[in-house]
């Protein structure tokens, strides 16, 4: 259930926006091709040598293109299989959600309402095993951080001797070896790095002005042939004047290269430079994405409504449509590769994801600026004296958490809850007097719970209410009708 701000749905984007998105797809394809050449077809052929070698792992550092390669291989092989699925796990996984995502991916028609159904882990495993028992499938399990998560997922995937394939991605080589058949992803060859860099900025290498050749080579060297670093810095440079002096300023702000820096601090500098190069309104919109868990698929229309409800979208002139303006902000973040296209419906971009390294950056910046406070089972560094402005409860580790409960909630403008766990740590809903956004997902609120939605009508500033896979009674619907400021 969602009570949104007003919007005017339109299938036809303005011509300028459509052109920008088409250009983004061409550039994205150009970035994928060298990644495929680094291991796509060869890796799969190597796996064919043994009939029982049905699990493969892509392993490598952040920004190398593990997800891109796994998705490209999956898409290439899809016609050979009865069903396919691509699911993300992340560092703080909700295994039940992973199973539900997998069921939905395997059969979108049959399982279209799976996220609205109450299922325990065993029931979901049984449903998965029953569905794939006699099918030839290919499943990608992206971004595995620990072997326990892999083990929990692996037990649901039956070995049916039909040539089914499982592809996993991870940054940890020890985990990759335990999963099996590790393929270590290397950095781009220097020639491919140049092609990607110059293609993103000028269209081709021969179009680079002579006075920028030397500084371009130095900047490329600092990127250490890492695709994400090259794409990110190229986007910054493409919006900088073609003057050697300006480019050297960018060069000097990066650091000393990624090759000898295993903790990727200089990658963070490159991503941070891209963030600080944004206009202020886009920085705010990007920071807001830290309210979502890592690897979370974010619906385009949902995000746009939340931005508007928070007051981030300001008309530039009389008559501007807020929804269309917010939509252009979304497109701009896509074009700058700060968010990634994720799902399409009827040819229209429906959702996005945030690369985990960018998510890590914006979460750090949000915490530093007290923009978003995240409670996910890890003790936050926010000062107890700080007034929380936006609060996000993100996973089921909170039930055993010793998270701070003395944070001041009176100024919370946005409350997003992705799990019932931790709700008991919150004060009464009536304490959130300036709340503008209330977004609840996977919340099963017991009787006597502090978060009593029957009092939602007292939230006079509420602009956006979303209840997804939550339990509530019909009496609540009557209360929702009393909301006077929540625009429809």
Flag whether 462 is in a domain: yes
Provide the CB-side half-sphere exposure for 130 (13 A, CA). 6
In contact, 13 and 300? CB cutoff 8 Å? no
What's the CA gap between 113 and 12, in Å, rounded? 28
User: Which pairing describes strands 165-170 and 182-184: parallel, antiparallel, or unpaired?
Assistant: unpaired
Within 10 angstroms of residue 97's Cβ, the number of other Cβ atoms is 23
Question: 138-155 burial, b for 16+ CB within 10 Å, e for fewer?
Answer: bbbbbbbbeeebbebbee
In contact, 38 and 72? CB cutoff 8 Å? no
**Residue 188 phi, psi (nearest 5):** -65, 150
Q: Are residues 95 and 204 in the same domain?
A: no
Within 10 angstroms of residue 255's Cβ, the number of other Cβ atoms is 15
Count of residues making up the chain: 488
List of residues 6+ apart from 329 with CB closer than 8 A: 281, 282, 285, 307, 313
Which of residues 150, 168, 184 is at a domain's end?
184
Flag whether 351 is in a domain: no
What's the CA gap between 134 and 136, in Å, rounded? 7
Flag whether 342 is in a domain: no
What are the strands of the beta sheet with 437-441, ordered from one edge? 2-3, 464-468, 437-441, 414-417, 390-393, 373-375
Flag whether 72 is in a domain: yes
Q: Are residues 205 and 242 in the same domain?
A: yes
The tokens of 186 are what? 């290397």
Which of residues 277, 312, 337 is at a domain's end?
277
Question: 292-319 burial, b for 16+ CB within 10 Å, e for fewer?
Answer: bbbbbebebbbbbbbbbbbebbeeeeee
Provide the CB-side half-sphere exposure for 70 (13 A, CA). 31
Q: Are residues 61 and 148 in the same domain?
A: yes
Which of residues 142, 164, 184 is at a domain's end?
184
Flag whether 103 is in a domain: yes
Q: Are residues 394 and 429 in the same domain?
A: yes
Q: Are residues 44 and 169 in the same domain?
A: yes
Token pair 């050979």 in the structure block, residue: 80
Q: Are residues 399 and 452 in the same domain?
A: yes
Q: Are residues 378 and 435 in the same domain?
A: yes
Give the model's pLDDT for residue 448. 57
What's the CA gap between 111 and 113, in Å, rounded? 5
The tokens of 459 are what? 């939230």
Q: Are residues 173 and 81 in the same domain?
A: yes
Flag whether 478 is in a domain: yes
What's the CA gap between 90 and 254, in Å, rounded? 28
**Residue 224 phi, psi (nearest 5):** 55, 35
Flag whether 138 is in a domain: yes
What's the CA gap between 306 and 372, in Å, rounded? 14
Longest CA pairwise span in the chain (Å): 71
List of residues 6+ apart from 337 with CB closer than 8 A: 231, 232, 235
Residues of the chain with pLDDT under 50: 1, 3-36, 38-43, 45-53, 257-263, 379, 381-385, 400, 402, 488
CATH number of the domain bearing residue 60:
3.40.50.300
Q: Are residues 57 and 175 in the same domain?
A: yes
Q: CB burial class (10 A; 0-12, 13-18, 19+) of residue 481?
A: exposed
Give the model's pLDDT for residue 472. 67
Q: Are residues 71 and 146 in the same domain?
A: yes
Q: Are residues 138 and 211 in the same domain?
A: no
Domain count, the chain: 3
Q: CB burial class (10 A; 0-12, 13-18, 19+) of residue 105?
A: middle
The residue range of the domain holding 432 is 370-488
The tokens of 301 are what? 């229309």
What's the CA gap between 448 and 408, in Å, rounded? 22
Dump the DSSP string for 384-438. TTSBPSEEEE--GGGGG-------B-TT--EEEESSSTTGGGS--GGG-TT--EE
Q: CB burial class (10 A; 0-12, 13-18, 19+) of residue 433?
A: middle
Give the model's pLDDT for residue 11. 35
3-state secondary structure 243-259: CHHHHHHHHHHHCCCCC
What's the CA gap between 89 and 143, in Å, rounded? 6
**Residue 164 phi, psi (nearest 5):** -65, 155
List of residues 6+ apart from 130 with CB closer than 8 A: none
Q: Are residues 112 and 206 in the same domain?
A: no
What's the CA gap between 318 and 207, in Å, rounded? 41
> DSSP letter at 455?
G
């Amino acid at each position: 259930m969602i009570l949104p701000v007003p919007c005017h749905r339109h299938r036809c984007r303005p011509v300028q926006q459509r052109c920008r998105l088409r250009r983004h797809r061409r550039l994205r394809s150009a970035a994928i091709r060298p990644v495929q050449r680094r291991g796509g077809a060869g890796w799969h052929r190597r796996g064919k040598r043994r009939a029982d070698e049905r699990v493969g792992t892509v392993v490598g550092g952040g920004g190398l293109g593990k997800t891109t390669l796994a998705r490209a291989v999956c898409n290439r092989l899809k016609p050979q299989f009865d069903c396919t699925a691509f699911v993300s796990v992340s560092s703080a996984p909700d295994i039940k959600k992973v199973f539900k995502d997998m069921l939905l991916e395997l059969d979108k028609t049959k399982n279209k309402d799976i996220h609205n159904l109450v299922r325990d882990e065993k029931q979901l495993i049984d449903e998965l095993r029953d569905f794939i028992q006699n099918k030839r499938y290919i499943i990608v399990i992206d971004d595995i951080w620990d072997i326990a998560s892999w083990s929990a997922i692996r037990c649901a995937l039956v070995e049916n001797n039909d040539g089914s394939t499982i592809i996993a991605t991870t940054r940890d080589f020890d985990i990759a070896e335990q999963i099996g058949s590790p393929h270590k992803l290397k950095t781009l060859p220097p020639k491919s790095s140049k092609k990607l860099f110059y293609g993103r900025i000028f269209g081709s290498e021969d179009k680079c002005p002579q006075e920028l050749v030397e500084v371009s080579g130095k900047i490329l060297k600092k990127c250490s042939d890492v695709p994400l670093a090259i794409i990110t810095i190229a986007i910054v440079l493409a919006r900088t004047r073609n003057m050697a002096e300006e480019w050297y300023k960018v060069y000097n702000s990066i650091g000393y290269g990624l090759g000898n820096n295993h903790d990727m601090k200089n990658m963070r500098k490159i991503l941070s430079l891209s963030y600080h190069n944004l206009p202020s309104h886009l920085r705010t919109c990007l920071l807001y994405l830290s309210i979502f868990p890592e690897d979370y698929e974010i619906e385009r229309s949902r995000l746009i409504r939340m931005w508007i409800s928070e007051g981030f979208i300001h008309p530039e002139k009389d008559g501007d449509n807020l929804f269309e303006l917010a939509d252009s902000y979304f497109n701009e973040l896509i074009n700058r590769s700060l968010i990634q296209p994720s799902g399409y419906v009827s040819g229209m971009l429906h959702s996005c994801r945030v690369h985990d390294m960018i998510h890590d950056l914006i979460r750090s910046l949000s915490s530093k600026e007290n923009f978003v406070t995240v409670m996910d089972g890890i003790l936050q560094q926010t000062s107890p004296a700080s007034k929380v402005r936006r609060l996000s409860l993100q996973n089921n580790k909170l039930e055993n958490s010793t998270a701070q409960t003395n944070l001041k909630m009176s100024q919370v403008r946005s409350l997003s809850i992705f799990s019932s766990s931790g709700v008991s740590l919150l004060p009464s809903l009536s304490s959130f007097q300036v709340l503008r956004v209330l977004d609840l997902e996977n919340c099963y609120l017991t009787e006597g719970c502090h978060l009593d939605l029957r009092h939602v009508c007292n939230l006079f500033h509420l602009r956006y209410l979303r209840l997804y896979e939550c339990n509530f009674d019909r009496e609540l619907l009557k209360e929702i009708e009393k909301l006077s400021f929540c625009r429809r």
